[in-house]
Structure 1
Amino acid sequence: MALRALRLSVDAPDLGGLPWGVAVVAAGETSTTSHLLPDDAEVEIGSVSKGVTGLLFRDAVERGEVAPEDLLQQHLPLAGCPAGGVTLGSLAQHRSGLPRLPRIPGMAGRSWRLWRHAANPYDDTLAELLEQTRATTVGRARASYSNLGFELLGHAVAAAAGTTYAGLVRDRIAVPLGLDSWYVPATPAELSPRALAGTTRRGRAAEPWTGEGLGPAGGIRSTLGDLAAFAAALLDGSAPGVAALEPTASFAGPAVRIGDAWLTTTVRGRAITWHNGGTGGWRSFVGVDRDAGRAAVVVRATTRSVDRVGMDLLAPR
């Protein structure tokens, strides 16, 4: 696939100053442009990781390793607690009844440290995450975004495949698609020298988000080029589990529908399938217009949303 410079034609006032990168895939070519973002810099893609987990879940269903009606306790040691009785399919569509975060003492303090000191609030091991989950109640099953749900979904799929989540990403997504930069660091010590620090809205360097538990919901790192190659694989259907992009249920009224993690929204008459991401110092967006054969990727080292830029690239004003 050809790689060439992209002339950014959208109105993107949020992209000045701090490191950022944009890629557009169209007509078999990938075009990129960036500012203060080296080609080999690894960025945090945040909750775009949920989109990856959605693909891995759908791929595992197609392999016969899991089924949407499987209970979480069939794959993780959660028997005897409320979360153990939710289904993998409900987790994949954010309708399990699990809260956004575990309901445990000290969670408010983590949010405070994130806001005040740009600290990573999600550095739990898998064992710690499971212990928190056992103490968490499950509410009414309805559409409600859950980081906890996707953390558990990814680890359940990995357990069913007899590996770790990091290993699952490597073996079933990164290696087959040639995404050499992709990895899921469990600790800061696992970060490579090319990991680029993000920045808070107030200009403070943000602590990197690493954590074994976090991985499936927000822990993957990538270069801009590899994230563009991932978007191209979504577009041409070569990504494993690409059926995850098909919207099968409403998520936020009739305007937003959901597949396995991936959202589909009509923007200026275009059906855009997408996921965004945010960490303590990064924002990201990956979207595809499959009818038009066009994909867009945006990353920026800040906590200010880049969604509008991504949508404008796919559905020009």
Structure 2
Amino acid sequence: MSVNPFRPVLRTSGLLAALCAAVLGLTAAAAPTRATPPTPSVDATGDPALAERLRAATADVAGQGFAVAAGDATTSASAAIGTVAPGRALTSATPQEIGSVTKGLTGLLFADAVERGEVAPTTTLGDVYPWLSGPLAATTLEELATHTSGLPRLSTRAALAAPLTAITYGNPYRWDTPENLLRDAAWTPLRGPKGQYAYSNLGYALLGNALAQRLGEPYPQLVHDRVLQPLGMAATEAAPAQLPADRARELGPDGRPSAPWRSTGSTPAGVGVYSTADDLGRLAAAVARGEVPGARALQPVVQTPGAGIGWGWLSADLGGRQVVGVNGATTGVRTSVWAVPSTGQWVAVTSPSGSTDEADTQTVAFRLLGLA
């Protein structure tokens, strides 16, 4: 069964889950659970009319709270419902992790580097790391950017950690560094043939790290200087030295606290990047206008049954309207950024709560855009 590209999130493989079944069996009984997932409180902040629309759009979606920024070519508003800690209402300026929405930023960074002539879509990992050999050395940056490299979803270390951290709500990426990710990938068998879409966090981590290696600057600095700063996204930061003091308390699907995901190697794939609904709204608005650095990333390169795949971005025709966007999730958050360029509409939805359906914020975003 093909992977639904509208659910680009971080999860383990079925094979490794089976190998770790004994661990799961021993730990599951010890893990506390909640009878019902968290639901938003009556708290509301921001634009009252948008808050009411948001409450209606999330009526059947679990989560302790939801924040949104939305608008079109002439208007914009933001609002939030629910809480992020006892006695603290969620706002559209509350920072949280954004998960794989980061891949959209990495795709823009890649496209910007291509436009500057610093790399090409056909640049290989062997060009960046001359000591590499074998299939990985021949892997192009565009194959990484479109999930067609054949690489597995996770690095070896993260895949081995994922079944246990799925129970404990811990950080499966804590050991990932640019160096050990490259070593892992060099001897990891390909999961599928090159050219075939297969979602890979490992691939995107390698893409961002390769750009940093080729351009001679750390990934967090590159994405800040070339993408975030031009878009005015001052509240967004990759791999911050100190986590935002006012960040949301993130909860897993059953309401237990979720540990922040931090990693020096997997940041470009969506680990340890923080933003707000307001800041992601700036990104969505720029996508709607086609005024983002590296706008080439928005254009589909690979077609799947569910969507066109660009460099970190998805596109599809829904009800006669072409939508462009990206989703993200960790154990304790969900995020979605979507735009309708033909109408100028845009929306960004965040929720500091995990879910068994990681596309929940996409559903909310589409409802706010008036899409099925």
> Deviations 1:94-114 (Å, cap 9, x if unpaired)?
111111112x3x555411222
- Which residue number corresponds to residue 130 of structure 1? 182
Give how far 1:15 is off: 5.0
Distance (whole Å) between structure 2 residues aligned to residue 315 and residue 143 of structure 1? 29
- Which residue number corresponds to residue 246 of structure 2? 194
- Which residue number corresponds to residue 310 of structure 1? 365
Whether 1:22 aligns to 2:68 is: yes
Distance (whole Å) between structure 1 residues aligned to residue 126 and residue 249 of structure 2? 37
Q: Which of 263, 268, 271 in structure 2 is aligned with 1:211?
A: 263
Give how far 1:84 is off: 2.0
Q: Which amino acid aligns with 1:23?
A: A
The 1:213–1:32 alpha-carbon spacing in structure 2 relative to 1, beyond 3 Å, is: same
Question: What is the total number of aligned residue pairs between the two structures?
Answer: 309
Q: Which amino acid aligns with 2:353?
A: T
SS in 1 for 2:279: helix
Distance (whole Å) between structure 2 residues aligned to residue 161 and residue 107 of structure 1? 27
- Which residue number corresponds to residue 57 of structure 2? 11
Give how far 1:93 is off: 0.9
SS in 2 for 1:199: coil
**CA contact under 8 A between 1:40 and 1:194: conserved in structure 2?**
no
Q: Which of 124, 129, 141 in structure 2 is aligned with 1:88?
A: 141
**CA contact under 8 A between 2:57 and 2:368: conserved in structure 1?**
no
SS in 1 for 2:237: coil
- Which residue number corresponds to residue 132 of structure 2? 79
> Deviations 1:44-100 (Å, cap 9, x if unpaired)?
110010111111111110000000111112224661243222001111111111111
Q: Which amino acid aligns with 2:110?
A: F
**CA contact under 8 A between 1:275 and 1:286: conserved in structure 2?**
yes
> Deviations 1:244-284 (Å, cap 9, x if unpaired)?
1112320x22x411111211122222211111001010011
Distance (whole Å) between structure 2 residues aligned to residue 307 and residue 114 of structure 1? 25
Q: Any residues of structure 2 matched to 1:34-183 within 5 Å, and which?
A: 34-35=80-81, 36=83, 37-76=90-129, 79-102=132-155, 104=156, 107-123=158-174, 124-138=176-190, 139-141=192-194, 142-183=196-237
TM-score norm. by structure 1 comes to 0.91
Distance (whole Å) between structure 1 residues aligned to residue 169 and residue 292 of structure 2? 34
Residue segments in structure 1 that go unaligned for 5+ positions in a row = none
Q: Which amino acid aligns with 1:262?
A: W
Structure with the greater alpha carbon radius of gyration: 2
Q: Any residues of structure 2 matched to 1:211-290 within 5 Å, and which?
A: 211-219=263-271, 220-250=273-303, 252-253=304-305, 255-290=306-341
- Which residue number corresponds to residue 291 of structure 1? 342
Residue segments in structure 2 that go unaligned for 5+ positions in a row = 1-45, 84-89
* Greater displacement, 126-135 / 85-94: 126-135
Report runs of 4+ in structure 1 exceeding 4 Å deviation. 14-17
Give how far 1:243 is off: 1.8
The 1:68–1:108 alpha-carbon spacing in structure 2 relative to 1, beyond 3 Å, is: closer
Distance (whole Å) between structure 2 residues aligned to residue 98 and residue 109 of structure 1? 16
SS in 1 for 2:106: helix
User: RMSD over aligned Cα, in angstroms?
Assistant: 2.0
Distance (whole Å) between structure 1 residues aligned to residue 274 and residue 65 of structure 2? 16
Q: Which amino acid aligns with 1:80?
A: S
Give how far 1:194 is off: 2.3
Distance (whole Å) between structure 1 residues aligned to residue 239 and residue 258 of structure 2? 16
TM-score norm. by structure 2 comes to 0.78
Give how far 1:11 is off: 3.2
Give how far 1:197 is off: 2.8
Q: Which amino acid aligns with 1:308?
A: T
Distance (whole Å) between structure 1 residues aligned to residue 76 and residue 268 of structure 2? 27
Distance (whole Å) between structure 1 residues aligned to residue 250 and residue 262 of structure 2? 13
Identity %: 36
Q: Which amino acid aligns with 1:183?
A: E
Q: Which amino acid aligns with 1:200?
A: G
Distance (whole Å) between structure 1 residues aligned to residue 339 and residue 275 of structure 2? 18
Distance (whole Å) between structure 2 residues aligned to residue 14 and residue 218 of structure 1? 27
Distance (whole Å) between structure 1 residues aligned to residue 51 and residue 243 of structure 2? 32
Give how far 1:158 is off: 2.0
Distance (whole Å) between structure 2 residues aligned to residue 78 and residue 264 of structure 1? 37
Distance (whole Å) between structure 1 residues aligned to residue 341 and residue 169 of structure 2? 37
**CA contact under 8 A between 1:4 and 1:30: conserved in structure 2?**
no
Q: Which amino acid aligns with 1:120?
A: N
SS in 1 for 2:99: coil
